[in-house]
Structure 1
Amino acid sequence: MGQKHKRYMVVDLETTGNQANRSDRMIQFAAVLVENNQIIQTYSSFVNPNRPIPAFIKELTGITEEDVRNAPEFQDIAPVINSLLEDTIFVAHNVNFDWTFLQKEMERAEIEIASVHKLDTVELARILYPGVDSYKLQDLSDEFGLTHNDPHKADSDALVTAELLIQLLHKLESLPLAVIQKMSSISQSLKSYLPSLIFEIEMRKGRKVETLPAHLLEYRGLVIQRKSIEKPSYSHFSAHVFPKTNQAKMKLFGKANAPLYVRNGQFEMMDLVHQAMESKSHALIEAGTGIGKSLGYFLPALYFAKGERLPVIISTYTNLLQSQLFQKDVKLVEQLTDLPVVATLLKGRDHYLNLFKFEQLLYEVDTQYDVVVTKLKLLVWLMETKTGDIDEVNLSSGGKLFWNRMKHTGWFLPEDKDPWLDYDFYKFNVEQAKHADLVIVNHALLLQDHFTKKSRLPEYSYAVIDEAHHFADSVRDQWSFSLTYRKMKYFLNQLGSLEKYSLLSRLEMIFEGESSLFDLNIAAFKLGSAIDAFFTELKTLLYNKNKQQVEVTLTDDLFYTAENLVTLLFEVVKNMTALLEKGKQKSRSFSEQEIAFIEETYSFLLDWEHMAAGLKQMINQHQAFSIVILECDKNYSLSSLKITNMSGGIENKLADHFFDTKDSVVMTSATLTVKDSFDYIKKKLGLNRLADRLIEAKIASPFKYAKHAKILIPNDMSPIKSTPLLTYTEQLANYLSHIAVKTSGRMLVLFTASEMLDETFKILKSNPVLAEFVILAQGRSSGSTDRLTRQFQLFDKAILLGTTSFWEGIDIPGEALSCLVIVRLPFAPLDDPYTKAQIELLKSQGENAFQNYSLPEAILRFKQGFGRLIRRETDRGLIFIFDNRIDTTHFGKAFLSSIPDVPIIKANQSQLLDETAEFFKGDQD
């Protein structure tokens, strides 16, 4: 019959732990029966495990001994569960866990259950919603607005999983036949019921005549979005002029669908950006938190682009920020101005899918789970993307490795060999950028395009650099090079040998008997030993110095080993190039699969060339200011070794080769000044000698910091510099525990060193006073910065410990973050090789390295950290600064003078805790 008669049993269990084969037991069972896309029955019961429930399980689920004390034991409800299972497909979110646990409990109850088909909603969601950030049940229910009243209780989780299943089945059924057919053949190796489900849908759809929606097209068996180049319209622009008066700006902002908070600082910023572009000047604009700087530069940039019929480049630091600007601000600007905005988001070429490579990879039979799921999710994604930018897709780690085989790297063979050329994503995006009013890029692409003359961006003379405090570092990164043992071994394994199925053996199928093929095989064999020899020497060097990070000077022995490695790398490059050149001559006789493979090999060759050239430059050290840094983990494992060649002296490169070539570059950030002066950032960016065409402006935050925040400085903590780490950490953790109780968590603690963070985390976790608190720590809790931030916001009583990336960029508005702790002033460690080299360079030039480098860098980072607390007009909170140097040294005052004026209280622990309680009592009154 049809799917409407298929019955799904959606199950969720709560247990005392995750070890089904050991002593853990079930404490709650819930099932929801779904038929014909409707919930037809529910069943749930607490289960008495006859053992204590661990504290963390109580905290996670809210289930206590009282809930299960009078509940039935599992063997009492096992017959009911078994009858529910009959003739159903077993469904769960992470199905293997629930099924394994249920099976084990049934064994103990001496009930034999029949083998059933299993379907995993995690697997299905990963495939059908390729762009979702997280596939956790709570995150998916938030994403889709599903009712989830009691997360981590089995009855609530089972119900929301059932609602999710219905949505997933509906989407799967709605996919076009061509997509279902591809999915059907690719999914066969999956162990779940999914291949059968897809095949059933394929059979049903095959009996009907389907028409694709107008926005889709089918080509060579793939379904993709239709797209066409959008060109700017100037016909009605004469009626739209930049709003020069505040009244005109107010009128403009009144067009927003949702009320916009009007800020004079934002209006001032709009005028400054407009003035800079009109007068062909550069600008440095520090825009305090809450100014709304993205709109402050987007609006004048658009008016200028339309008025001059020229593109304006908008550059920011990360791909994530790039996407946020494109998705949020472009639409808002279009709404406010009534102007059709043509904006393009452009990234480096290897962010885009090569459709020809992907199409050919679909014909390869690959049973590796991550590869199969990645193929399936990309088939769905192709119907939803116009850009082909892989950053839109949430890839697993295995999926990211597989991505290397289908990423875009240009063409080795003539472009007309690519049957997908007319639909090529990269080509489309580059062409669209030529017709855009605004082109949104990241610093890395902007600089790479400018200094390598790759001309992916349209010709431009006007740009806005957001997050400009990172711009100089991005330039340095462009002239830097890193190599890891793990990466070299991965590349070597991909290359393989003639004896095993690999890139080399596949090349042999095309170039059988070619001498370059055998030379490549020999070079690859020797390369393995050369990599081990080079990195083993580096490991010994680190181990002998008893350090995890050092600056490397190439001794004669090390130079010889490195030179041998470089020679072999270039031997690989030379022979691979020779084979590909022969491929050009033979390309007429190639099948499409062979052509796609040649392009894939070309992509591989480019990576090898980059690796060989970078290492050669590193060991020769031709640059005027260049240092080599070696680092590893605390176990000195080979797989953790990383060697980096860092380039400095970038000021002149920026001044002469970037700023001098542009009419107007506006640089903005919330942190550009040090002690109310732009002098440091001007020097860092090479803008000192462009003072005659440079506008400088500092726009204060509109937030009332004096009313909404206080700085508390303990005067009874041991001096951080002269106290042993463990002694200081015990004091700190004890103090943090007391603060957490007063603030009910809601606390972000910023560290400058992982070792102190780790020790503090251990002590906090073992403190019974904090048993009800969720304690998260960067490097100790799993997940990225974004994921840890989201987790922190989910719980009422949460403490988040962070280093590095948590000092800036994270946004936790409202009551979720009410207390910020700065453990130590964020000076870079003096033994950090790059810092050490910068200091030595400045000393050699007769400059005060502390005043002219270490202090300004620390102040800029401190300002970023301070900015985490107050993110909205209504936010309020406390900042604890534990480093007593803020109060006892002359330079400490420089930190305080670089942030907004807020009340400062210096007192002992008892007094500061009373102050904390009083401050948050005000929240409740």
Structure 2
Amino acid sequence: MTAAPALLLPDAPLLAVGLRRAVLITADGEIEDGPLPQIAKLLTPDDPPYLCHAPALGKRLEIPGFWGYDLLELFAFVRPAQFCVPTPRGLAQALDLPAPKDLMAEALILRDAASLLLAELADARDPETLAILQPMAAGGWSWGRAAERALASVTPGRRGLAVWRALPEIPDQPADGPPGQQPVHAQEARWQLASLLGGSAESRPSQADYASATALAFAPRQTEGQPNIVLAEAGTGVGKTLGYLAPASVWARKNSGTVWVSTYTRNLQHQIDQELDRLYPDPVDKALKAVVRKGRENYLCLLNLEENTQIASTRPAEAVGVGLMARWVLATRDGDLTGGDFPGWLPELLGRARTLGLADRRGECIFAACHHFNRCFVERSVRRAKRAEIVVANHALVMVQSALGGGDDGAVPSRLIFDEGHHLFDAADSAFSAHLSGFEGQEMRRWLLGAEGSARSRARGLRRRIEELLTDEGMLNTLAQLLRAAHALPGDGWQNRLMDEAPHGPIETFLAALRRQVLARQTEKDYGYSLEAEANPANDDLLPLADDARSALIALREPGLTLKKRLADRLVDEAGEMESDVRLRCEAAIRTLDRRLILPVAGWISMLEALREEPSAEFVDWFGIDRQDGQDTDVGMHRHWRDPSKPFARTVAEGAHGIVVTSATLTDATGDPDADWKAAERRLGLPWLDVAATRAQLPSPYDYAAQTRVLVVTDVRRDEIDQVASAYRALFLAAGGGALGLFTAISRLRAVHARIADALEDADIPLLAQHIDGMETASLIDIFRAEENACLLGTDAVRDGVDVPGRSLRLIVFDRIPWPRPDILHKARRDAFGGWNWDRRLVRLKLKQAFGRLIRRADDTGVFVLLEPMPSDFRSAFPPGVEVRRVGLAEAVREVGGFLGGR
């Protein structure tokens, strides 16, 4: 028996970094504990330390390109596709080590974590792991030498970084016929719910009532274009997920059909996936019958990975990122880069290009022409979804599937459950909008022409993707005509050319004139933020330039239409002899031409034509300059539906047979329930369907009056940032952490963070902040959830994405009333949807949604604080029985400390 190798740990310092101070323990055991600038001076590139999350620490220490022995990289290599909160405490929890209590303990835990991970690597004795490791070590990976020593007694495998060879091929299966039409009776839904809950589960009568109500959506449709619709508002704690999965699973099994469950946030997708373990306790059975489905831009592309592997053969340093991704590819369940088992912090460590950039984000897939097609993660997901009982998707994908007649797999969902239904309006607004901008034009040009003058780019042009499908000279000439026309689109460097008033081509010239119009019509002198202006009336010089841009787009669209028709003709003319892989490629090329070229260009042409017409009653058009940190990031013309629920109703709902729309916040609470339901139905597009929906309203079982407090602070001046920051500091300290601070502006968030960081660190309360810490929002929320006494500052994205049961979230503080931003689009909708009442309804729903984050379990308690006087009619945003008290800051601090501290 071969003896286990002796581990060779790097002889290096240990580093833990807080908000304002850090601890450095040298290899000789000397301890330095001091402010960040002091510790930063002690760090040298020649003596890299053990650390956890180098980019985030480098940002705090203000050391560009900071690196070291990052334990997260080692964790991702040894335990790929496993979750770990990206902090020393998170590592300790994942490795069953004692939780560190302070910065000193956090530093010391790093060496123990490294020892455990390397020992685990040695115990596995996997030859293929060593084959991946060797090019990483040769490329200079910091852990390379120690990891090779751990595997010293192993003979390397043969695949190396070419891990796609180990993936199983996707089995071919015949397509199922259409589903049956057997209904789900209320009692069947209740029985199934009881089965899912099991005998020991808590009895919740409201959950059974909810399951019965949602079962009505699974009755046979009576009239074409009029689906069975159930609107179900269920308070937190009712148990919506299992409530609707009960009738959905009964219908799927009775009818051999598929039910699509759609969410707005990735977090809820993950929760639903976990709940499906109750429905399918056998992992093998679950893999066959339940699928988490996303757009192809979310999945790793094996061809991109292979091309990165080839790059690594000539640039060895690239092998580190390729190797970590290769380890994940061998362990992942489904190849999803934006959720599931992919470490959300890995792009922060390796960069987006080496991680998320390996997805097909530009529609460059060559489908059946790709030699990875039968192992492709996207194709596997598509094929599994065709035969699954439950498909968990997102609102955007469902809308695209319906709008394009089925998308990748040709399947239009007929039974739909929209969870987080209060976001349907916003999701439809995004899905059915159009943007003729520099960025969108550049993306289309790159999709058509591929890389231009860049040897490092993986971009594959249209010629490479479809040339083999073009069978005669005429088709090849049409492709050449299309590619020549693509040079009219904005190219690399267009931003600088617009700034310099030196545009290239008709579309850049139009965008330069558009930019001049936006700047000319500003009334404020501060141009640091994004700007907009009405499109009509246009400046005198803009209309002829818009005509030139329109002509260029027509010249682009026409050969695209011709190519689409010729490919469709091939499918008909060669039906008898065409090989199946060629048919698949032709069908995919037709769909992609439609989605990526013909439909968007048609929308752009229509927008340009509208500049010579009266403003539309159906659309809102405007010009905009997007800016970040004072720099232009995009310039363009935008078109949104005034009422996006109309295309949603006509494109998605009309073709369905049954729809459940559910949320804890579907309706407002004005005191007139019928008016509140009608307002919700209008936002969901029901008036466009001429169908009566079933309404169901199930209150939360929680005792909000006992479990919560709502305080409106009346003596903090919102325009005095020092007073606002002092309020946050005092409230966070009174709660002992566990607080979420919500802001309506990033600038206010940054200012408050700078003013409260020292005080919170002195109290040993971790402070996290969106737009400040060197982490993505999802990583910040993971840390916040894991650290019971942490505080998190964020904007709307945090409010919508956070689900934190228990004491980790016990206080929410809003800096001010979340009024909608009065931009051109909002003002148009306010006029269309009821004026001032529209604004007030949106505010109440935002407050209602934010309050709903506080209580996620029966034993949760929490306090909601608003640092601005609130109109009395906003009190209805909170549950009945909850007293909304107007208090001074000092009283609010005492209330928070007493209510939360005592518990």
Q: Give unpaired runs (5+ residues) of structure 2.
A: 59-67, 222-227, 468-475, 571-584
The aligned counterpart of 1:674 is 668
The aligned counterpart of 2:784 is 792
User: Pairwise mapping of residues 681-830 of structure 1 onto structure 2 (< 5 A)?
Assistant: 681-688=680-687, 693-717=692-716, 725=719, 727=720, 729-765=721-757, 772-793=764-785, 795=787, 797-830=789-822
3-state SS of the aligned residue for 1:159? helix
**Structure 2 residue 175 is the aligned partner of structure 1 residue 189:** no
**Structure 2 residue 75 is the aligned partner of structure 1 residue 125:** yes
The aligned counterpart of 2:198 is 255
**Structure 2 residue 858 is the aligned partner of structure 1 residue 869:** no
Shift of 1:274: 1.6
2:655 aligned to which of 658, 661, 670: 661
- 2:232 touches 2:663 (CA, 8 Å); kept in 1? yes
Shift of 1:856: 1.9
1:619 aligned to which of 598, 608, 613: 608
Q: Identify which range, 511-520 or 737-746, moves more after superposition.
A: 511-520
**Relative to 1, partners in 2 of residues 1:746 and 1:362: Cα closer, same or farther, differing over 3 Å?**
closer
3-state SS of the aligned residue for 1:205? coil
The aligned counterpart of 2:35 is 54
User: Pairwise mapping of residues 642-657 of structure 1 onto structure 2 (< 5 A)?
Assistant: 644-657=638-651
Shift of 1:673: 0.9
Q: Structure 2: how far apart are the matches of 1:752 and 1:96?
A: 30
Q: Structure 2: how far apart are the matches of 1:439 and 1:627?
A: 36
Q: Structure 1: how far apart are the matches of 2:567 and 2:652?
A: 39
AA of the residue aligned to 2:724: L
- 2:770 touches 2:795 (CA, 8 Å); kept in 1? yes
Q: Give unpaired runs (5+ residues) of structure 1.
A: 31-43, 61-73, 75-81, 101-117, 586-595, 843-847
Shift of 1:529: 5.5
3-state SS of the aligned residue for 2:26? strand
User: Pairwise mapping of residues 322-721 of structure 1 onto structure 2 (< 5 A)?
Assistant: 322-326=269-273, 328-335=274-281, 342-356=289-303, 358-359=305-306, 361-365=308-312, 371-391=318-338, 392-394=341-343, 396=347, 400-401=352-353, 407=360, 415=368, 417-455=369-407, 456=409, 458-482=411-435, 495=450, 497=452, 528=493, 532=498, 533=503, 534=508, 540-544=516-520, 545=522, 546=524, 548-553=530-535, 554-559=538-543, 615-621=604-610, 624-633=618-627, 635-639=629-633, 644-675=638-669, 676=673, 677-688=676-687, 693-717=692-716
The aligned counterpart of 2:836 is 850
Shift of 1:324: 3.2
The aligned counterpart of 2:224 is none
What is the aligned length? 809
Root-mean-square deviation over aligned CA pairs: 5.3
Cα deviation digits, residues 590-644 of structure 1 (max 9, x gap): xxxxxx9xx99x9999867787566445434597313235243365312365764
Shift of 1:405: 6.2
Shift of 1:873: 0.6
**Structure 2 residue 25 is the aligned partner of structure 1 residue 28:** yes
**Relative to 1, partners in 2 of residues 1:192 and 1:809: Cα closer, same or farther, differing over 3 Å?**
closer
AA of the residue aligned to 2:686: L
1:314 aligned to which of 254, 261, 265: 261
Q: Structure 2: how far apart are the matches of 1:506 and 1:458?
A: 27
Q: Structure 1: how far apart are the matches of 2:310 and 2:108?
A: 43
3-state SS of the aligned residue for 1:244? helix
Shift of 1:269: 0.8
Q: Structure 2: how far apart are the matches of 1:491 and 1:572?
A: 11
3-state SS of the aligned residue for 1:441? strand
TM-score between both structures, scaled by the size of structure 1: 0.73
Q: Identify which range, 390-399 or 489-498, moves more after superposition.
A: 489-498
Q: Structure 2: how far apart are the matches of 1:914 and 1:509?
A: 68
AA of the residue aligned to 1:477: S
The aligned counterpart of 2:874 is 892
- 1:627 touches 1:645 (CA, 8 Å); kept in 2? yes
**Structure 2 residue 118 is the aligned partner of structure 1 residue 165:** yes
Shift of 1:901: 2.2
Q: Structure 2: how far apart are the matches of 1:859 and 1:778?
A: 24
Larger Rg belongs to: 1
3-state SS of the aligned residue for 2:166? strand
1:838 aligned to which of 812, 829, 846: 829
> Which has the bigger relative contact order, CA under 8 A and spacing at least 6?
2
- 2:304 touches 2:458 (CA, 8 Å); kept in 1? no
3-state SS of the aligned residue for 2:310? coil
**Structure 2 residue 867 is the aligned partner of structure 1 residue 882:** yes
**Relative to 1, partners in 2 of residues 1:463 and 1:198: Cα closer, same or farther, differing over 3 Å?**
same
Q: Structure 2: how far apart are the matches of 1:645 and 1:667?
A: 27
**Relative to 1, partners in 2 of residues 1:181 and 1:775: Cα closer, same or farther, differing over 3 Å?**
closer
Q: Identify which range, 574-583 or 376-385, moves more after superposition.
A: 574-583
Cα deviation digits, residues 208-248 of structure 1 (max 9, x gap): 9x9x9xxxx999972114665799999xx9xx997829995
Cα deviation digits, residues 31-51 of structure 1 (max 9, x gap): xxxxxxxxxxxxx7343x5xx
AA of the residue aligned to 1:264: P
**Relative to 1, partners in 2 of residues 1:543 and 1:384: Cα closer, same or farther, differing over 3 Å?**
same
**Relative to 1, partners in 2 of residues 1:652 and 1:480: Cα closer, same or farther, differing over 3 Å?**
closer
- 1:218 touches 1:224 (CA, 8 Å); kept in 2? no
Q: Structure 2: how far apart are the matches of 1:905 and 1:504?
A: 58
3-state SS of the aligned residue for 1:646? strand
**Relative to 1, partners in 2 of residues 1:646 and 1:175: Cα closer, same or farther, differing over 3 Å?**
farther
3-state SS of the aligned residue for 2:679? helix
Shift of 1:469: 0.9
**Structure 2 residue 155 is the aligned partner of structure 1 residue 205:** yes
Cα deviation digits, residues 309-354 of structure 1 (max 9, x gap): 222221111344324322x121112349999771222222333344
Shift of 1:681: 1.4
The aligned counterpart of 1:273 is 214
- 2:765 touches 2:791 (CA, 8 Å); kept in 1? yes
Cα deviation digits, residues 755-799 of structure 1 (max 9, x gap): 433333333346699765443333233323332233334556543
Q: Structure 2: how far apart are the matches of 1:527 and 1:563?
A: 23
Shift of 1:581: 13
Q: Identify which range, 912-921 or 436-445, moves more after superposition.
A: 912-921
**Relative to 1, partners in 2 of residues 1:520 and 1:482: Cα closer, same or farther, differing over 3 Å?**
closer
Q: Structure 2: how far apart are the matches of 1:906 and 1:578?
A: 67
3-state SS of the aligned residue for 1:710? strand
AA of the residue aligned to 2:276: V
Q: Report % sequence identity.
A: 20
Q: Structure 1: how far apart are the matches of 2:284 and 2:367?
A: 43
The aligned counterpart of 2:898 is 918
Q: Structure 1: how far apart are the matches of 2:453 and 2:441?
A: 19
3-state SS of the aligned residue for 2:784? helix
The aligned counterpart of 1:294 is 241
Shift of 1:375: 2.7
Q: Structure 2: how far apart are the matches of 1:492 and 1:315?
A: 32
AA of the residue aligned to 1:761: H
Shift of 1:140: 3.3
**Relative to 1, partners in 2 of residues 1:613 and 1:351: Cα closer, same or farther, differing over 3 Å?**
farther
AA of the residue aligned to 1:791: I
User: Pairwise mapping of residues 94-105 of structure 1 onto structure 2 (< 5 A)?
Assistant: none
Q: Identify which range, 746-755 or 282-291, moves more after superposition.
A: 746-755
Shift of 1:191: 5.5
Shift of 1:467: 0.8
- 1:227 touches 1:386 (CA, 8 Å); kept in 2? no
AA of the residue aligned to 2:166: V
**Relative to 1, partners in 2 of residues 1:509 and 1:796: Cα closer, same or farther, differing over 3 Å?**
closer
Q: Structure 2: how far apart are the matches of 1:646 and 1:127?
A: 45
Shift of 1:489: 6.3
Q: Structure 1: how far apart are the matches of 2:257 and 2:296?
A: 24
**Relative to 1, partners in 2 of residues 1:260 and 1:501: Cα closer, same or farther, differing over 3 Å?**
closer
- 1:298 touches 1:329 (CA, 8 Å); kept in 2? no
- 1:9 touches 1:91 (CA, 8 Å); kept in 2? no
The aligned counterpart of 1:37 is none
Shift of 1:439: 1.8
